[in-house]
Chains A and B, each alone.
Chain A
Amino acid sequence: MKMKKLIAAALAMAMALSLAACGGGGQTSTPGNNTSGSGSQTPAQSTPATPSGGTEISLWTYPIGDWGKEDKVKAITDAFTADTGITVKVEYLAYADGDDKVNSAITAENAPDLIMEGPERLVTNWGDKGYLVDLSDMIDDTDRSEINAAAMAACTHSNGSVYEYPLVITAHCMAINLNAFKEAGADQYLDLENHTWTTENFIKAVDALYAKYNAPVGAVFCKGQGGDQGTRALVNNLYGGTFATASHDKYTWDDPLNIKALEQLKSMKGIAFDASLEGGDEIKVFYQGVLKMAFCWNIAQQLNPNQADTGAGLTAGGDEIVFMGFPSESGKPALQGGIWGFGIFDNGDQAKIDAAKTFIKWMCDSEHTVDAVKTANYFAARSAAEGTDLSGIWADNEIMNEYQVLMPYLGDYYQVTTGWAGARTEWWNMLQEVGNGQDITTSVNTHVAAANALAAG
């Protein structure tokens, strides 16, 4: 009887604890649980070849322009299949949980063959950890002369390996509601021809808008990391501060110039530090006409604000949206770049690796590159591809053409600094503390130290 009681008690305890702990345990021990996609990829990866003799490869893509839209991607992958006989099974990731899915798939040894994203993930994270194939054998001297030098550098690991083959680039910027600026008399502070403005004029404009609307007109959003390139660019540009060293081995946003910028922003009534918004949320509120400026913007948003299909360069209420560089003392911003391309996971199957390389060559360096670039709605990362001139592919698009005025302002691609994921977390946590009124210098120093500790491993 005593033994029975003991067993019963042990079982009861196990059940109670299981109720409590299965959530925590499950999170870490079965990382593939939330990867319906990864599960669906297994058969594809285990199938050596399709009946027609072609290989089937899997591609996971983040929503990079229309590379996140199934109909557009299907059109181009079908063309690729028709041309090469290689079939492509595509899975569409969201930024909200895409990293979780990829990390879970890697842990479960179930990673896709191809992935489309930027160097901060492909080079600094997955490439650095040895999951990706070195693509340097795909890049000869002609390619190096054609590919944007900054993009090529960002796609190359410090060990010389190329973990991303770049397809498109853009410059992230901010946007303003021109109608609201005009109503507040703040349009006088904008250089609409060059799409730039100075820090002094930015402050004057925000003050004028606040006087008109008596509510915050811009939000330093800090709910999470989504769109955080906007808040970093805003802070860095205001007084010329830096985010990381040029060698990308240490974070430097404790730069006094950044602290000065944060103090300035915190002191402005028209600017709110908003921990209920991420980049996407900010765009939505700006699109609704509530906020009069958005710090998370790029050409894709300009072409289709809030992805609402209600007209290029217009808010929901029909106000005109103008893209702008971030304000700086000189009026010449250093814009954060966006570089997107393909990486290949080393799943140990040479046939699939070769097929994936064929896919990359077809998309990024062939006569089909025009279509691949146009699908992304960004600018080509190279000037020409196998004799096809790519410099004028947007000549028929007025907005894209106009946006090119910002491209010379592309700044350092510091997202490849070691410990990037941890640093991003430190950044938005720091902004929340600044917004809550904590001492700015202390908060900045604490979080930069934490980011550098993570970078140091």
Chain B
Amino acid sequence: MAKQSKPSMSRALQRRENIAGYLFMLPSLIFFIGFVVIPMVICIFTSLTDMNMHDPGLFGNFVGLSNFTRLWQDTAFLAALKNTFIIVIVSVPTVCAFSLWVSSAIYRLKGPVLSAFRCIFYLPVVTGSVAVTVVWKWMYDNYTGIFNHVLKSAGLIEQNINWLGDPKFALWCIILILFTTSVGQPIVLYVSALGNVDTTLVEAAQVDGATDFQVFWKVKWAQMLPTTLYILVITTINSFQCFALIQLLTKGGAGTDTVMYRIYWTAFKLTEQAGHFGYANAMGVVLAIFIGLLSALQFKLAKEK
């Protein structure tokens, strides 16, 4: 009897625990479904319509894939897509490489010094993006900015450089700010990952005559791959979704338009354009597909490694 009642008690307990678990998840699940899943579904659906703010009806008329075909003939969108890819291609590797380098240099430091470095690099992350951007805007200012002042004082330039108004510089200025605000979290993660590397493996490799580079590449790097994958995916997504910097600094001008900014502009500024919501959502879907594909590629490469 005892043997028969034990599994049934266990199942009941399991059921209670399951219910409790789901109840704990419920608040988050409601928000996730309400503010992420449902908007995503609406976004995908309305990208196939001519939805706009003026016509009656919630979703507009079904137009098939015409929004998507229009995108590939829209030079403004293609320019924004190109800029977005430049940001991702430049930003992601440099953020990863720089944060790994800094982490390698500081992770052996003692408590307070390490904390100080962590604070320094993490400060731009926790500081509001608007505050950070405004400070950068002052420094980049064409007429009174410190960069032009220093370069002119040093005799390196004769005329002021219009950092945020000249297409030769503007996108790179944006990437630089994005870089400074992106490296904080990877540095903290890498410092933590390096601290968790199994020292017995490192010592064994050193005893076997491995060079510092071999120790890093064959032992440490291999153990940090999950961290690297997370950093790559998060940095890629953040780079693809670069919006606030563009909005606050250039409004998409001087060759800095990105897909995220284009979505905003099409949806909320070009409200006289037919089907502007549907068209903007089509851009959002295309962006999501690119991010999904790139993230999947990163997962696949990391798995093979």
A419 lies within 8 A of chain B by Cβ: yes
Q: What 0/1 readout, one digit per residue, does chain A (262-279) give for beta carbons within 8 Å of chain B?
A: 000000000010111110
In the bound complex, do residue A25 and residue B42 qualify as a contact, i.e. CB atoms below 8 Å apart?
yes
Measured CB to CB, the closest approach of chain B to A96, in angstroms, equals 9
If A20-B240, A21-B288, A107-B53 touch, whether A428 touches B253 (CB-CB below 8 Å) is yes
Q: What 0/1 readout, one digit per residue, does chain A (94-107) give for beta carbons within 8 Å of chain B?
A: 00000110011011
A288 lies within 8 A of chain B by Cβ: yes
In the bound complex, do residue B251 and residue A20 qualify as a contact, i.e. CB atoms below 8 Å apart?
no
Q: Which residues of A contact B241 (CB under 8 A)?
A: 20, 23
Residues of B219-240 whose CB lies within 8 A of A: 233, 237, 240
Q: Which residues of B contact A428 (CB under 8 A)?
A: 253
Chain B binding surface SS class = helix
Q: Which residues of B contact A25 (CB under 8 A)?
A: 39-40, 42-43, 281, 284
Measured CB to CB, the closest approach of chain A to B294, in angstroms, equals 9
Complex CA distance for A13 and B37, rounded to whole angstroms: 12
Measured CB to CB, the closest approach of chain B to A42, in angstroms, equals 18
Q: Which residues of B contact A20 (CB under 8 A)?
A: 237, 240-241, 287-288, 291-292, 295
The interface-forming segment of B95-103, B196-204, B263-271 is B263-271
Q: What 0/1 readout, one digit per residue, does chain B (261-291) give for beta carbons within 8 Å of chain A?
A: 0011101111111100100110111011001
Q: What 0/1 readout, one digit per residue, does chain A (332-350) give for beta carbons within 8 Å of chain B?
A: 0000000000000000000
The interface-forming segment of B14-22, B105-113, B163-171, B185-193 is B163-171
Complex CA distance for A421 and B287, rounded to whole angstroms: 25
Which of A24, A130, A223 contacts B165, CB < 8 Å? A223
Measured CB to CB, the closest approach of chain A to B162, in angstroms, equals 6
B72 lies within 8 A of chain A by Cβ: no
Q: Which residues of A contact B243 (CB under 8 A)?
A: 23
Q: Which residues of A contact B263 (CB under 8 A)?
A: 23-24, 27-28
Residues of A134-162 whose CB lies within 8 A of B: none
In the bound complex, do residue B39 and residue A100 qualify as a contact, i.e. CB atoms below 8 Å apart?
no
If A274-B162, A276-B250 touch, whether A28 touches B281 (CB-CB below 8 Å) is yes
Residues of chain B at interface, number, CB under 8 A:
58
Residues of B1-50 whose CB lies within 8 A of A: 32, 35-37, 39-40, 42-43, 46
If A276-B164, A421-B270 touch, whether A290 touches B292 (CB-CB below 8 Å) is no
Which of A24, A104, A278, A429 contacts B268, CB < 8 Å? A104
Q: Which residues of A contact B86 (CB under 8 A)?
A: none
If A21-B288, A27-B264 touch, whether A14 touches B37 (CB-CB below 8 Å) is yes
B70 lies within 8 A of chain A by Cβ: no
Complex CA distance for A24 and B268, rounded to whole angstroms: 12
A81 lies within 8 A of chain B by Cβ: no
In the bound complex, do residue A419 and residue B39 qualify as a contact, i.e. CB atoms below 8 Å apart?
no
B54 lies within 8 A of chain A by Cβ: yes
Residues of B124-142 whose CB lies within 8 A of A: 140-142
B216 lies within 8 A of chain A by Cβ: no
Q: Which residues of A contact B144 (CB under 8 A)?
A: 285, 288, 290
In the bound complex, do residue A21 and residue B271 qualify as a contact, i.e. CB atoms below 8 Å apart?
no
Complex CA distance for A31 and B35, rounded to whole angstroms: 13
Q: Which residues of A contact B142 (CB under 8 A)?
A: 274, 276-277
If A20-B287, A425-B269, A428-B253 touch, whether A28 touches B277 (CB-CB below 8 Å) is yes
B260 lies within 8 A of chain A by Cβ: yes
Size bin of chain A's contact surface: 35 or more
In the bound complex, do residue B40 and residue A17 qualify as a contact, i.e. CB atoms below 8 Å apart?
yes
B143 lies within 8 A of chain A by Cβ: yes
Q: Which residues of A contact B160 (CB under 8 A)?
A: 215
Q: Which residues of A contact B78 (CB under 8 A)?
A: none
Q: What 0/1 readout, one digit per residue, does chain A (53-80) give for beta carbons within 8 Å of chain B?
A: 0000000000000000000000000000
Q: Which residue among A23, A28, A428 has the maximum number of chain B CB atoms within 10 Å of its CB?
A: A28
In the bound complex, do residue B35 and residue A24 qualify as a contact, i.e. CB atoms below 8 Å apart?
no
Measured CB to CB, the closest approach of chain A to B71, in angstroms, equals 13
In the bound complex, do residue A17 and residue B267 qualify as a contact, i.e. CB atoms below 8 Å apart?
no
Q: Which residues of B contact A274 (CB under 8 A)?
A: 142, 162, 165
For B143, the closest partner residue in chain A by CB is A290
Q: Which residues of A contact B166 (CB under 8 A)?
A: 275
Q: Which residues of A contact B39 (CB under 8 A)?
A: 22, 25-26, 29-30
Measured CB to CB, the closest approach of chain B to A21, in angstroms, equals 4
B114 lies within 8 A of chain A by Cβ: no
Which of B167, B267, B269, B285 contacts A21, CB < 8 Å? B285
For A18, the closest partner residue in chain B by CB is B36
Complex CA distance for A129 and B75, rounded to whole angstroms: 28
Complex CA distance for A202 and B36, rounded to whole angstroms: 57
B205 lies within 8 A of chain A by Cβ: no
For B53, the closest partner residue in chain A by CB is A107
B254 lies within 8 A of chain A by Cβ: yes
Which of B43, B292, B295 contacts A28, CB < 8 Å? B43
List the 9 closest pairs (A to B, CB-CB), nearest first.
A24-B284, A25-B43, A276-B165, A21-B288, A20-B291, A275-B165, A25-B39, A276-B164, A18-B36
Chain A interface residues (CB < 8 Å from chain B): 13-14, 16-31, 99-100, 103-104, 106-107, 125, 129-130, 215, 222-224, 272, 274-278, 285, 288, 290-291, 419-422, 425, 428-429, 432, 435-436, 454, 457
Inter-chain pairs besides A425-B265, A425-B270, 7 sampled, C-beta below 8 Å: A17-B292, A18-B37, A28-B263, A31-B267, A104-B268, A275-B162, A421-B272
